[in-house]
Amino acid sequence: AGLGPKPQAERMFALMDRFLSNDPVSLQKDILDHVEYTVARSRFSFDDFEAYQALAHSVRDRLIERWHDTQQYFKRKDPKRLYFLSLEFLMGRSLSNSVINLGIRDQCADALSQLGFEYEVLAEQEGDAALGNGGLARLSACQMDSLATLDYPAWGYGLRYQYGLFRQVILDGFQHEQPDYWLNFGNPWEIERVHVSYPVKFYGTVEEETLNGKSCKVWLPGETVEAVAYDNPIPGYGTRNTINLRLWAAKPDGQYDMESYNTGDYINAVVNRQRAETISCVLYPDDRSYQGKELRLKQHYFFVSASLQDIIRRFKDGHNNFDDFPEKVALQLNDTHPSLAVVEVMRVLVDEEHLGWDQAWNIVCRIFSFTTHTVLPEALEKIPVDLLGSLLPRHLQIIYDINFNFMEELKKRIGLDFNRLSQMSIVEEGAVKSIRMANLSIVCSHTVNGVSRMHSELLKTRVFKDFYELWPHKFQYKTNGVTQRRWIVVSNPSLCALISKWLGTEAWIRDIDLLIGLQEFAADADLHQEWKMVRKVNKMRLAEYIEAMSGVKVSLDAMFDVQIKRIHEYKRQLLNILSIIHRYDCIKNMEKTQRRKVVPRVCIVGGKAAPGYEVAKKIIKLCHAVAEKINNDADVGDLLKLIFVPDYNVSVAELVIPGADLSQHISTAGHEASGTGCMKFLMNGCLLLATADGSTVEIIEEIGEENMFLFGAKVHEVPALREKSSDHKAPLQFSHVVRMVRDGHFGFKDYFKSLCDGVEGDSDFYLLGSDFASYLEAQAAADKAFVDQEKWTQMSILSTAGSGRFSSDRTIEDYAETTWGIEPCKCPS
């Protein structure tokens, strides 16, 4: 008692009476200080990379100030917090995004130019943080940006992989994977918290003990690993709020096993301890196939255990009754990857906090919400019981108990319908007895969200039909969105300026609904002029990149047609390549005079294949083989080029998307849960060539069918088309182009045979043959529209104008209000 602030505090406050200033002179001083004291280079001799580092550290200092204020404010206000649990975050670069959100881009550029550096050049020095695979991971990153911007009291939790997603290197047209050791040159965007660390336990046995006359279970673990926190500040735009993304790294724990040291094998003992670090060493690169690997399960539990210890510690600091937990905590499961969290909360509450099972269960059922991102059965995680039982013996018992109670409840509801009971069970009996993580997540969460309306309908009528009938109220959807801060303001500054000029305000950067105001000028000749100019400059930037990377010169008058995303059969990159072969074949067979009527195209394809996914790797090779032929054919010239952009990542997307005229989202209907790439293209005024799948159905509603190129079977037609015998499906042109590949027109005859077999006859599961004719029609419609540049420009403006619904700000607001029950908590400036 009576402990006021320490006397030194007076002095500290006196010294700290100001924030860092953002005028160019102050920035220059800070940059030079960091050159000298952080980067340890002479003020008179430092290169672009060192200048980037110094700038990054100056920005980091400003982030830290805001981070402190925000966290202190949250602590004082103690609102209900959202904890966003995701095994993947695809952040990309941080500098450009931070300076935009802090509102100091121009000041930084000024400061640098007087020192003889160019801001854009320095921004390019930064490598991507690629702690994720694709859509799901980039969605997490966009959602963090929106959570910060909208002032929500939120935390992100993830893993700090030492190796991010592999780098794709193409040799001879084949994909090779190289490790992405992204921390090599230091990471100014994280703050290591050596004192924030928790022990995470694995293996061992469970014993029965009696405590106060009650019997309880005690887990005696066999191995302990330490989780250390690394904090990554996430600044909001137009607000002081800066939230935290806390990533965990594995370190050996502090306990020394004296026994083994005494045996004299000191070196081996140390080496063995060091192995703990492998847990957070590398990101798994196969997005959506689970092979029951122990290391992967270890990653998941390591992440879950550390995050929950942190969350519960924070809760206990100020609260002593767990019945208040649901008033203060919302836990969001980003897919099933973190779903062991529901089991872990049960374990902590029952075994460690000694709550009764029912009381603990009531709490669990009120705090978790679950978002699923797929309809593909192979993407639904299953964990072999043997594996789980050996790594986490107590958790397996708890899962059995949860399932027992669930089955009892279910029997009361539906009777002894054993078929249905076994389908809904969390435990799958069979050759390999395993745990169905999606079923576990549905049983334990209050809400199950889909990522688009169509996705949600498929969940309710197919994938989780039984669960929907049991708990209709749990099933909702929040159509995905992307952040306009990164996908317009950062990546397309000239379009950003143009939009602000015509709307007369920059407010759309926080309030995306204002974009609709562009509609009114969709036919304005002056806007058309300026819009075309901006698009041309972006195409020039992309063309330069293409030439530097592939040596191919492309014409700016050609239509830039882009398909960039992970390579997967259902996304049908093969359909695209086959139609490019068709186009090539048509050009070759034309009279020379006719060729003048062809609308020139530059087809751009990019994306990574999971290292073990043979079909996807063959598609990449085919793309290169076809490109080789077309790009070197003098008959074709500028009429058609095919470019494969290697090592597609967030930064490449930032360059390619603003320069695209047309983009393709052509998955077989019913397979793409949402799709988010299409939203980025839409915002940037790129027209879409698409099937009615996932979120494109909702895009049609916003901009109208007449402003895009739609084709292909509808979702309800797909099952019947699969039944139909093969000779009724594929048109002749299709058989012809497949034959060209089969006959070795592009070489590698034997290697491509299986690709051809996979799309012909009854094995054409993804319906390339039956959609081919309508795909070609849509391509022809795009050609026709491109000839009328005024028409095209109008469609482009209407695309941007109609993209407002696809901002992650809308998604997050919806989650906050209807799923998480959280409110903004704005830190005063």
**Which residues belong to the active site?**
373, 565-566, 571, 676, 680
Rg over alpha carbons for the chain, rounded to the nearest Å, is 28
673 interacts with ligand Z15 by CB under 6 A: yes
Residue 136: CB minimum distance to ligand Z15, A: 3
Of these, 30, 145, 466, 672, which contacts ligand Z15 (CB under 6 A)?
A: 672
Asked if 288 touches ligand Z15 (CB under 6 A), the answer is: yes
What tokens appear for 167 in the block?
Answer: 């780098």
Using the contact rule CB under 6 A, the part of the chain among 134-142, 156-164, 268-276, 414-422 near ligand Z15 is 134-142
Q: What backbone torsions phi and psi does residue 315 show, to the nearest 5 degrees?
A: -65, -45
Q: Is residue 518 a contact partner of residue 800, using CB atoms and an 8 Å limit?
A: yes
Span from 23-31, 132-140, 698-706, 754-762 in contact with ligand Z15 (CB under 6 A): 132-140
Closest CB to ligand Z15 among residues 434, 811: 811
Q: Single out the residue of 333, 347, 357 nearest to residue 442, CA to CA.
A: 333
Of residues 191, 365, 379, 781, which one binds ligand Z15 by CB under 6 A?
379
Long-range contacts of 298-301 (CB under 8 A, 24+ apart): 298/202, 298/391, 299/87, 299/159, 300/87, 300/337, 300/338, 300/340, 301/200, 301/202, 301/340, 301/344, 301/391, 301/392, 301/395
Q: How far is CA 333 from CA 86, 175, 336, 675, in A?
A: 7, 33, 7, 19
Q: Is residue 612 helix, strand or coil?
A: coil
In this chain, which stretch among 67-75, 169-177, 654-662, 668-676 interacts with ligand Z15, using CB under 6 A? 668-676
Shortest CB 287 distance to ligand Z15, Å: 4
Residue 607 in the binding site for ligand Z15 (CB under 6 A): no
Which residue lies nearer to ligand Z15 by CB, 140 or 631? 140
Q: Does 283 bind ligand Z15 (CB under 6 A)?
A: no
CA separation for the pair 296, 281 (Å, rounded): 11
Number of residues interacting with ligand Z15: please give it, by CB under 6 A: 18
Alpha-carbon dihedral of residues 693, 694, 700, 703, nearest 10 degrees? Answer: -140
Query: Measured from the CB atom, is 92 or 675 closer to ligand Z15?
Result: 675
Who's near 567: CB < 8 A, 6+ residues apart?
573, 607, 608, 609, 613, 616, 617, 619, 620
Closest CB 484 distance from ligand Z15, rounded Å: 17
- Using CB under 6 A, which of the segments 58-66, 130-138, 162-170, 410-418 binds ligand Z15? 130-138
Instruction: Estimate to the nearest angstrom the gap between the alpha carbon of 344 and the chain centroid.
Output: 25
537 is an interface residue for ligand Z15 by CB under 6 A:
no
Residues pairing with 232 in the sheet = 245
Residues 628, 643: Cα–Cα separation, whole Å: 9
Give the interface segment with ligand Z15, choosing from 388-396, 466-474, 674-682, 714-722 (CB under 6 A). 674-682
Q: Taking the complex as a whole, how short is the minimal distance between the CB of residue 493 and ligand Z15, in angstroms?
A: 26
If one asks whether residue 373 binds ligand Z15 (CB under 6 A), the answer comes out as: yes
- Give 571 or 641: the residue with its C-beta nearer to ligand Z15: 571
Smallest distance from ligand Z15 to CB 40, Å? 40
Does 451 sit near ligand Z15 (CB under 6 A)?
Answer: yes
- Which residue of this chain has its Cβ atom nearest to ligand Z15 in the complex? 135
Rounded Cα–Cα distance for residues 269 and 262 (Å): 10
**By the rule CB under 6 A, 135 interacts with ligand Z15:** yes
Minimum distance of ligand Z15 from residue 461's CB (angstroms): 18
User: Binding of ligand Z15 at residue 287 (CB under 6 A)?
Assistant: yes
Residue 139 makes contact with ligand Z15 by CB under 6 A? yes
- 34's CB contacts (< 8 A; 6+ apart) are 53, 54, 55, 57, 58
Give the tokens for residue 205: 């046995």
Q: What angle do CA 531, 535, 540 make, to 5 degrees?
A: 150
Binding region for ligand Z15 (CB under 6 A) out of 49-57, 99-107, 638-646, 673-681: 673-681
C-beta closer to ligand Z15: residue 27 or 567: 567
Angle of helix 768-787 relative to helix 573-588, nearest 10 degrees?
60
Smallest gap, in angstroms, from Cβ of residue 677 to ligand Z15? 8
Supply the minimum distance, in Å, between the C-beta of residue 678 and ligand Z15. 9
Residue corresponding to tokens 């190289």: 178
Tell me whether residue 305 or residue 479 sits nearer to ligand Z15 (CB atom): 479
Residue count of the chain: 829
Torsion of CA 245, 288, 576, 535, to 10 degrees: 0
User: CB of residue 768 vs ligand Z15: minimum separation in angstroms?
Assistant: 19
Kindly state whether residue 134 participates in binding ligand Z15, applying the rule CB under 6 A.
yes
Stretch that binds ligand Z15, among 133-141, 396-404, 506-514, 745-753 (CB under 6 A): 133-141
Answer yes or no: are the C-beta atoms of 564 and 138 closer than 8 Å: no
Residue 235 CB contacts under 8 Å (≥ 6 apart), including other chains:
63, 66, 98, 101, 102, 148, 241, 242
Draw the binding track, 387-426, toward ligand Z15 (x: CB under 6 A; -: no contact): ----------------------------------------
Kindly state the smallest distance separating residue 650's Cβ from ligand Z15, in Å.
13
Instruction: Give whichever of 88 and 253 is closer to ligand Z15, judged by the CB atom.
Output: 88
Which CB atom, from 484 or from 695, has the smaller least distance to ligand Z15? 695
Instruction: Candidates 233, 694, 712, 769: give the one binding ligand Z15 (CB under 6 A).
Output: 694
Nearest distance in Å: CB 447, ligand Z15: 16
With respect to ligand Z15, which residue has the nearer C-beta, 139 or 559?
139
Q: Does 676 bind ligand Z15 (CB under 6 A)?
A: yes
Which of residues 363 and 380 has its CB atom nearest to ligand Z15 in the complex?
380
Site string for ligand Z15, 220-249 (x = CB under 6 A): ------------------------------
Q: Which of residues 727-756 bind ligand Z15 (CB under 6 A)?
A: none
Cβ closest to ligand Z15, residue 115 vs residue 380: 380
- C-alpha 396/C-alpha 390 separation (Å) is 9
Per the CB < 8 A criterion, the answer to whether 770 and 713 are in contact is yes
Compute CA distances 781 → 198, 502, 793, whole Å: 59, 30, 15
Nearer to ligand Z15, 539 or 608 (CB): 608
- Contact segment (CB under 6 A) with ligand Z15 among 145-153, 208-216, 672-680, 755-763 equals 672-680
Would the CA dihedral through 83, 289, 576, 172 be positive or negative?
A: positive
As beta bridge partners, residue 177 has 168
Q: Is 480 in the site for ligand Z15 (CB under 6 A)?
A: yes
State how far the Cα of 186 lies from the Cα of 183, in Å rounded to an integer: 5
675 binds ligand Z15 (CB under 6 A): yes
- How near is the Cβ of 146 to ligand Z15 at its closest, in Å? 14
Pick from 374, 483, 491, 664: which binds ligand Z15 (CB under 6 A)? 374
Nearer to ligand Z15, 187 or 819 (CB): 819
CB of 674 to ligand Z15, least distance (A): 4
Structure tokens at 757: 């077999």
- The two beta strands, 154-159 and 242-252, are parallel
**Chain residues 1-60 in contact with ligand Z15, contact rule CB under 6 A:** none
Helix, strand, coil shares, percent, the chain, to 5? 55, 15, 30
- Site for ligand Z15 contains 674 (CB under 6 A): yes
User: Distance (Å, rounded) from C-alpha 173 to C-alpha 751?
Assistant: 13
The backbone region for 140, taken as left when phi is positive above 0, alpha when psi lies in -120 to 50, beta otherwise, is: alpha
Report the C-alpha dihedral over residues 253, 255, 259, 261, rounded to 10 degrees. Answer: 70
- Residues within the interface to ligand Z15 (CB under 6 A): 133-136, 139, 287-288, 373-374, 379, 451, 480, 672-676, 694
